[in-house]
Amino acid sequence: MDRTATLDHFWLPFTPNREFKREPRLFARAEGVHYFTPEGRKILDGCSGLFCTPLGHGRREIADAVHEQLLTLDYTPTFTRAHPKAFELATRVAGFTPTGLDRVFFANSGSEAVDSAMKIALAYHRARGEGQRTLFVSRERAYHGVNMGGVALSGLVRNRESFGTGVPGVMHMRHTHLPENRFARGLPEKGGELADDLARLGQLHGFANIAAVFIEPIAGSTGCLPPPRGYLERVRELCDTHGILLVFDEVITGWGRTGHAFAAQAFGVTPDLITMAKALTNGAQPMGAVAVKRGVHDAIVERGPLHAPELFHGYTYSAHPAACAAALATLGLYDAERSFEQARALAPYFQERVFSLCDLPAVADVRGYGLLAGIDLRAESGAPGLAGHEAQKRLFDAGLHLKATGDALLLAPAFGFSRAQVDELVDVLREMLGASR
Ligand SMILES: Cc1ncc(COP(=O)(O)O)c(C=O)c1O
């Protein structure tokens, strides 16, 4: 670090700043599935950064594409102007999304994608003469980013108590984290009936007033909650019956994490909109997107006046040329390296090894699907989040990077992890969580 720089000025997001600045933990470099500290210590990246880099770090193909793009066309607005790669990328994305979700709106993050999806849902109903549909349904324990729309959808207490409830008219279904499903592998057997919370909310508030239901097919940030069997199907059925849009927030599950391009395909349930970000560019450029069913798009776009935007929404950096170049290179690699098949092939071994930690007294629950897993730590101190926070610090010192949310540790390795690297990840955890094999 430049010697004149101090740690004082950077206000870190989602971080206890005073503690961090007393004992900073920095990454200076990354390559493949490893980070390196400024002192050159190697740290295994067991969470693809923040679920962003399934292709591994430092991919030259992506870096070169961004470099070339910045020298060719560094920036153009996409309000009444555009550039070829934006169209190329939207077409490529539509080749991966479930059939019918082939219209793509670009944003710069998952949070922006979520807020964009909320606006698209409102605009859709308004365009069809159902402007009374202004209510949204989300779930307890959901994480839909940090913009005010996403905070309103959020089902995480800290997100809500810090800033109020955000936009009004958001209702929450119960979460599906049931004690009966502790240590359940794959999709839990119990809890499919919780989808009927949507019916109760509809009966109370009027189905005809609900615009959209937001669901993470696997609730990610809260600690990896795969959907109970039959749950997503039931939500889809209720949405169909009552004219409600179904949005899958696939910011974590999108782009191969389940072994399929999207969790919608893994679980065979097709939503009306999909939000995505993170692995869309392998984390190399900020980018988010909403894939929208053609009928939803057309209802908005075909009805607007020719001289004015049909959707009054967009970002200065929507479809930024460098982000488009990064995403095109990323999607090219997903194809060339058969990345989703690679993820699917590694998943059983990964799950087997992660579930081998169930015997540890420090472990309260393990859940997982594909190359995503969550481990709940026993919160002995009674202070929620303390066990997770301490574990996350000790893991860094032990040479492993994972994300902690509350007392849950999240595992999301790159798709190219070898079995030996999976073993290393699990061994570091076993040792750190304090028990011998
Ligand atoms: C499901 C989901 N939605 C939205 C977001 C917000 O994405 P971002 O941090 O890129 O704004 C996240 C971030 O982890 C997420 O997991």
pLDDT tens column, 32-59: 999 999 999 999 999 999 999 999 999 9
The protein residue whose alpha carbon is closest to atom 12 in ligand 1 is: 145
Tokens of 55: 């292709």
Ligand 1 pocket mutation, candidates 278, 317, 403, 410, criterion most atoms within 8 A of CB: 278
Q: In a mutational test of the pocket of ligand 1, which residue from 116, 251, 258, 287 has the highest number of ligand atoms less than 8 Å from its CB?
A: 251
Nearest atom (ligand 1) to Cα of 278: 10
β pairing state of 135-139 and 210-215 = parallel
Predicted pLDDT at 436: 36
36 CA distance to ligand 1 centroid (A)?
25
**110 Cα: distance to centroid of ligand 1 (angstroms):** 4
Give the pLDDT confidence score for residue 280 in this predicted structure: 98
| Ligand 1 pocket, mutate which of 47, 115, 143 (most atoms under 8 A from CB) | 143
**In a 3-state reduction of DSSP, which class is residue 290?**
strand
| Domain annotation for the chain: domains and CATH numbers | 17-55+338-434 (3.90.1150.10), 63-336 (3.40.640.10)
Query: pLDDT value at position 437?
Result: 37
Nearest CA to ligand 1 atom 7: 110
Q: Which residues are bridge partners to 136 per DSSP?
A: 170, 212
Pairing mode, strands 34-36 and 29-31: antiparallel
φ, ψ for residue 215, nearest 5 deg: -135, 130
Helix (H, G, I), strand (E, B) or coil at 73: coil
SS in 3 state form for 189-234? CCCHHHHHHHHHHHHHHCHHHEEEEEECCCECCCCCECCCCCHHHH
Quickly list DSSP for 228-285.
Answer: PTTHHHHHHHHHHHHT-EEEEE-TTTTTTTTSSSSHHHHHT---SEEEE-GGGGTTSS
Q: Write out the chain's pLDDT in tens, 437 residues.
A: 777 789 999 999 999 999 999 999 999 999 999 999 999 999 999 999 999 999 999 999 999 999 999 999 999 999 999 999 999 999 999 999 999 999 999 999 999 999 999 999 999 999 999 999 999 999 999 999 999 999 999 988 877 778 877 788 999 999 999 999 999 999 999 999 999 999 999 999 999 999 999 999 999 989 999 999 999 999 999 999 999 999 999 999 999 999 999 999 999 999 999 999 999 999 999 999 999 999 999 999 998 889 999 999 999 999 999 999 999 999 999 999 999 999 999 999 999 999 999 999 999 999 999 999 999 999 887 788 899 999 999 999 999 999 999 999 999 999 999 999 999 999 999 999 985 33
Structure tokens at 89: 């990328």
Quote the strand ranges of 88-231, DSSP E: 103-107, 135-139, 170-173, 210-215
**Ligand 1 atom closest to 253 (CA):** 1
- Token look-up 């079995």 returns 419
CA of 134 to the centre of ligand 1 (A): 23
Instruction: Determine if the pTM surpasses 0.95.
Output: yes
The residue to which tokens 């009306």 are assigned:
272
CA 378 – CA 387 distance, rounded (Å): 7
**Cross-strand bridge partners of residue 215:** 248
What's the angle, vertex CA 135, arms to CA 134 and CA 137, rounded to 5?
145
**225 strand-pairing partners:** 219
Cα–Cα–Cα angle for 286, 287, 291, rounded to 5 degrees: 165
Q: Which of 139, 218, 221 to mutate to test the pocket of ligand 1 (most atoms within 8 A of CB)?
A: 221
> Ligand 1, from 108, 111, 139: best to mutate by most atoms within 8 Å of Cβ?
111
Q: How far is the CA of 275 from the centre of ligand 1 (A)?
A: 9
- Does residue 205 contact residue 168 with C-beta atoms inside 8 Å? no
The distance from CA 388 to its chain's CA centroid, rounded to whole angstroms, is 20
Ligand 1-lining residues (CB < 6 angstroms): 109-111, 114, 143-145, 216, 220-221, 249, 251-252, 277
Beta bridge partners of 105: 290
- Give me ligand 1 centre to Cα 278, in Å: 8
Position in ligand 1 atom list of the atom nearest CA 51 = 14
For residue 405, the CA-to-ligand 1 centroid distance in Å is 13
- Strands 34-36 vs 42-45: parallel, antiparallel or unpaired: antiparallel
For residues 69 and 233, the answer to whether their CB atoms sit within 8 Å is no
| Residue nearest (by alpha carbon) to ligand 1 atom 3 | 144
Any idea what DSSP says for residue 416?
A: T
Which atom of ligand 1 has the smallest separation from the CA of 112? 11
Residue 51 CA to ligand 1 center (angstroms) comes to 10
Tally Cβ neighbours within 10 Å of residue 382.
6
Say if strands 245-249 and 210-215 run parallel, antiparallel, or are unpaired: parallel
- CA 28 to ligand 1 center in whole angstroms: 24
Ligand 1 centre from 4 Cα, in Å?
A: 34
- Report whether 206 contacts 176 (CB < 8 A): no
Taking the centre of ligand 1 as the mean of its atom positions, its distance from the CA of residue 392, in whole angstroms, is: 20
Quick one: which of 274, 174, 268, 183 has its CA closest to 229?
268
Ligand 1 center to 111 CA (angstroms): 6
Counted residue by residue, the chain has a size of 437
